[in-house]
């Protein structure tokens, strides 16, 4: 009997083991079933979307796994507020059945309906013109409608705009678009709740394509739409800036690039840039003696001026690109593949073309050395500040210098990033000039500062005004530069703040996607990052 029982229990054990293996195989080939009843992902998502519809921002954010919606702000003008309120009232959501499991996340599809303000530009313009036509016919005196210059009175034009917008927004459903978006949820074991992961895709679907800095960006788009609709009726200045989250900038208008061997041909460009320069003096002059056989390159639109040229100084070839931008968001950094950990590297000209840079400069090549403080998109990726000066670029587009050894603890660096609104950093150095004062350049850990070597530098001239520099050996000039001779040249030009980036074969200056300077060893080196300046005018508006 004992033998029979032993055999029986042995067979049972084998059967159970086989069943366990089968279940494991089944589980490996089929998604687990997530209970989706009360407190499940669908109910959580429904509650979240309900909060959005009722304007309960705090309630919606309490269901999120970190992050902020950016919906609590108010637009800056009455007319923008009208559109924003209509936008919010246009939101509608329908949660599709089922879900997809991706790792530890549940993905749900939501059909989102929201107003598309850009579809209203032409109808708004037509309605304004019709209202003004009727009021002109009804007026007893021309002075009721027109000012002394024969233009519509501002108050008449603005009232026509307000009335036209009110009429269109009453029928905002006619301008709604539907879009399917994916919303991701993750289960928080500590809270015992499903949490919504931040979704820029959802926000864009709700607002006609606006992402980060949502209410401000929405106001900018409405302002520019109204400026187009009121062209010739009411002077409204267009404003442009870029979302921090953008990886690829708008495409610059190719017709606005120019080049000439005659520096005097830039006179009209500089004159046309007077409003953008806003009284600031340029280092570039149409009387500059450029290098023999070289050309001056330029680009100008309402948001960016770039002048690029070559010049012989101290028997070295200096390549400059002087840049003035309208908004700090146009000063940007790009990591290869938009990630700090990407293994792939690219030539600077390839990266510049990939992000639509007007002008770009090779970066610090952070993947080549394990040194320095690395910040990208406000996130700290490396905290080794003992040996290198760091250039911190803030939300106002200013260069802030942290000298070697000043910040070494991660908590201190994070506090500095938060307190100073730091967007990204550059980690090479040294700082050559700080507020017009020369640095002590007796020693620096990297960069062979005492050798004649190919160099790369980022300088700030004034508010939103910069100078990109490379120094190379290029005929007829037979030297490059030491840190000292480079500092001498920049100081003589009136530069107040200058920071050295990786040199040698890395040093490359790009304009309109083309390499301008002669890089060391004759060909561009694949590197990890660039800094660049972009137009802020949307691609669809910038095209000629």
User: Residue 507 in contact with residue 459, Cβ under 8 Å?
Assistant: no
Q: Which of 501, 499, 498 lies closest to 436, judged by CA?
A: 498
Q: Does 249 map to a domain? A: no
Same domain, 426 and 343: yes
* Whole-number Å distance between alpha carbons of 285 and 266: 8
Radius of gyration of the CA atoms of the chain, in A: 30
220: which 2 tokens? 């900018």
C-alpha to C-alpha distance for 427 and 415, rounded to whole angstroms: 18
Tokens of 465: 């005004």
Phi, psi angles (nearest 5°) of residue 303: -120, -10
Q: Is residue 274 in some structural domain?
A: yes
If asked whether residues 191 and 269 sit together in one domain, one would say no
Q: Does 513 reside within a domain? A: yes
- Statement to judge: residues 487 and 538 lie in one domain: yes
Tokens of 482: 């030491």
391: left (phi over 0), alpha (psi -120 to 50) or beta: beta
Q: Which two tokens stand for residue 23?
A: 């279940």
CB neighbour list of residue 462: distance below 8 Å, 6 or more residues apart: 280, 281
Cβ-Cβ contacts under 8 Å for 38 (sequence gap 6 or more): none
The pLDDT tens digits along the chain (544 residues) read: 444 445 444 544 444 444 333 433 333 333 455 667 677 899 999 999 999 999 999 999 999 998 778 888 888 889 999 999 999 999 999 999 988 888 889 999 999 999 998 899 999 999 999 999 999 999 888 888 998 888 999 999 999 999 999 999 998 889 999 999 999 999 999 888 999 998 888 988 898 877 656 788 888 889 998 998 888 888 888 889 998 888 899 999 999 999 999 999 999 999 999 999 999 999 999 999 999 999 999 999 999 999 999 999 999 999 999 999 999 999 999 999 998 876 789 999 999 999 999 999 999 998 888 899 999 999 999 999 999 999 999 999 999 999 999 999 999 999 999 999 999 999 999 999 999 999 988 899 999 999 999 999 999 999 999 999 999 999 999 999 999 999 999 999 999 999 999 999 999 999 999 999 999 999 999 999 999 999 999 876 765 5
∠ at Cα 137 (136, 141), nearest 5°?
A: 65
Query: What pLDDT, on a 0 to 100 scale, did the predictor assign at position 11?
Result: 44
Give the number of other CB atoms < 10 A from CB of residue 320. 25
Question: Are 212 and 262 contained in the same domain?
Answer: no
Distance CA 209, CA 110 (A): 16
**DSSP symbol at 378:** T
Asked if omega into 430 is within 30° of 0 (cis), the reply is yes
225 with 268, same domain? no
Q: Which of 214, 229, 244 is the last residue of a domain?
A: 229
Total number of domains in the chain: 2
**For 372, left (φ over 0), alpha (ψ -120 to 50), or beta?**
left
Q: Which residues of 75-84 are buried (b: 16+ CB within 10 A; e: fewer)?
A: beeebbebbb
CA dist 396 to 10, 112, 535, 538, Å?
Answer: 75, 35, 16, 21
Residue 17 resides in a domain = no
Q: What is the pLDDT of residue 220?
A: 87
pLDDT at res. 391: 97
* One domain for residues 404 and 501: yes
Distance CA 278, CA 409 (A): 40
Do 524 and 534 contact (CB within 8 A), yes or no? no
Q: Tokens representing 89? A: 């009232």
pLDDT at position 172: 87
Cα first-last separation, the chain? 95
Domain boundary among 212, 229, 246: 229
Burial of 118: CB neighbours in 10 Å, binned 0-12, 13-18, 19+: middle
Q: Are 301 and 295 in contact (CB under 8 A)?
A: no
Whether 529 and 405 share a structural domain: yes
Is residue 257 packed enough to be buried (19+ CB in 10 Å), middle (13-18) or exposed (0-12)? Answer: middle
In a domain, 22, yes or no: no
Domain of residue 513, residue span: 254-542
> In angstroms, rounded to a whole number, what is the distance separating the alpha carbons of residues 363 and 390?
13
Peptide bond into 476 cis (omega under 30): yes
- Distance of alpha carbon 260 from its chain centroid, rounded? 31
Whether residues 211 and 263 fall in one domain:
no
| Residues in a beta bridge with 183 | 108
In a domain, 258, yes or no: yes
Burial of 384 (0-12, 13-18, 19+ CB in 10 A): middle
CA quadruple 405, 409, 412, 413: dihedral sign = positive
* CA pair distance 242, 358, nearest whole angstrom: 14
Contact 400, 425 (CB under 8 A): no
Q: Do both 83 and 168 map to the same domain?
A: yes
- Could you tell me if 198 and 213 are in contact, meaning their C-beta atoms sit under 8 angstroms apart? no
What string of DSSP letters covers 421-434? TEEEEEE---EEEE
What does residue 238 show for φ and ψ, rounded to 5 degrees? -75, 145
Give the span between the Cα atoms of 118 and 218, in whole angstroms.
11
In a domain, 248, yes or no: no
Q: Do the domain assignments include residue 24?
A: no
Residues 470 and 414 in one domain: yes
Tokens 């490379």 belong to residue: 470
Judge if 384 and 507 occupy the same domain: yes
Strands annotated E in 223-371 = 257-260, 296-301, 304-313, 316-325, 331-335, 359-362
Both 221 and 260 in one domain: the answer is no
Q: What is the DSSP letter of 104?
A: T
């Amino acid at each position: 009997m004992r033998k029979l029982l032993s055999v029986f229990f042995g067979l049972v054990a084998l059967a159970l083991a086989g069943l366990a293996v089968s279940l494991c195989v089944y589980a490996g080939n089929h998604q687990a079933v997530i209970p989706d009843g009360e407190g499940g992902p669908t109910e959580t998502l429904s509650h979240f979307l309900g909060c959005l519809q009722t304007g309960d921002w705090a309630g919606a954010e309490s269901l999120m796994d970190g992050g902020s919606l950016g919906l609590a702000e108010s637009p800056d003008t009455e007319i923008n507020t009208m559109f924003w309120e209509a936008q919010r009232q246009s939101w509608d959501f329908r949660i599709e059945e089922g879900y997809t499991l991706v790792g530890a996340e549940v993905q749900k599809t939501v059909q989102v309906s929201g107003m598309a303000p850009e579809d209203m530009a032409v109808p708004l313009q037509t309605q304004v013109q019709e209202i003004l036509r009727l009021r002109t016919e009804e007026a007893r005196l021309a002075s009721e409608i027109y000012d002394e210059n024969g233009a519509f009175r501002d108050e008449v034009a603005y009232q026509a705009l307000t009335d036209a917008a009110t009429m269109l927004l009453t029928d905002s459903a006619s301008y709604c678009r539907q879009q399917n978006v994916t919303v991701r949820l993750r289960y928080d074991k500590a809270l015992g709740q499903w949490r919504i992961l931040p979704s820029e895709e959802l926000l864009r679907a709700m607002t006609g394509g606006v992402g980060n800095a949502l209410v401000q960006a929405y106001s900018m788009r409405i302002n520019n739409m109204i400026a187009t609709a009121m062209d010739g009726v009411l002077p409204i200045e267009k404003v442009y800036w870029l979302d921090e989250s953008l990886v690829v900038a708008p495409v610059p208008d190719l017709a606005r690039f120019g080049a000439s061997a005659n520096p005097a041909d830039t006179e009209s460009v500089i004159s046309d840039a007077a409003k953008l320069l806003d009284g600031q003096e340029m280092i570039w002059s149409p009387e500059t003696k450029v290098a023999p056989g070289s050309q001056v390159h330029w680009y100008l639109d309402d948001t960016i001026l770039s002048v690029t040229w070559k010049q012989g100084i101290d028997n070295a070839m200096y390549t400059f690109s002087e840049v003035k931008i309208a908004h700090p968001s146009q000063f940007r950094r790009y990591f290869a593949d938009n990630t700090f950990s990407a293994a792939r590297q690219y030539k600077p000209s390839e990266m510049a073309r990939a992000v639509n840079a007007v002008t770009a400069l090779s970066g610090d090549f952070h993947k080549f050395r394990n040194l320095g403080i690395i910040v990208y998109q406000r996130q700290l990726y490396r905290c080794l500040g003992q040996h290198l000066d760091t250039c911190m670029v803030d939300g106002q587009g200013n260069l802030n210098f942290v000298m070697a050894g000043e910040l070494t603890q991660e908590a201190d660096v994070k506090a500095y990033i938060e307190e100073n609104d730091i967007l990204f950093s550059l980690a090479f150095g040294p700082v050559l000039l700080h507020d017009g004062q020369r640095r002590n350049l007796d020693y620096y850990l990297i960069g062979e500062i005492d050798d004649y070597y190919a160099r790369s530098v980022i300088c700030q001239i004034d508010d939103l005004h910069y100078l990109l520099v490379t120094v190379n050996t290029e005929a007829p000039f037979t030297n490059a530069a030491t840190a000292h001779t480079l500092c001498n040249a920049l100081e003589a030009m009136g530069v107040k703040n200058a920071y050295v980036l990786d040199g040698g074969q890395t040093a490359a200056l790009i304009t309109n996607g083309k390499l301008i300077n002669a890089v060391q060893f004759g060909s561009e080196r694949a590197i990890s990052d660039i800094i660049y300046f972009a137009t802020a005018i949307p691609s669809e508006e910038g095209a000629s």
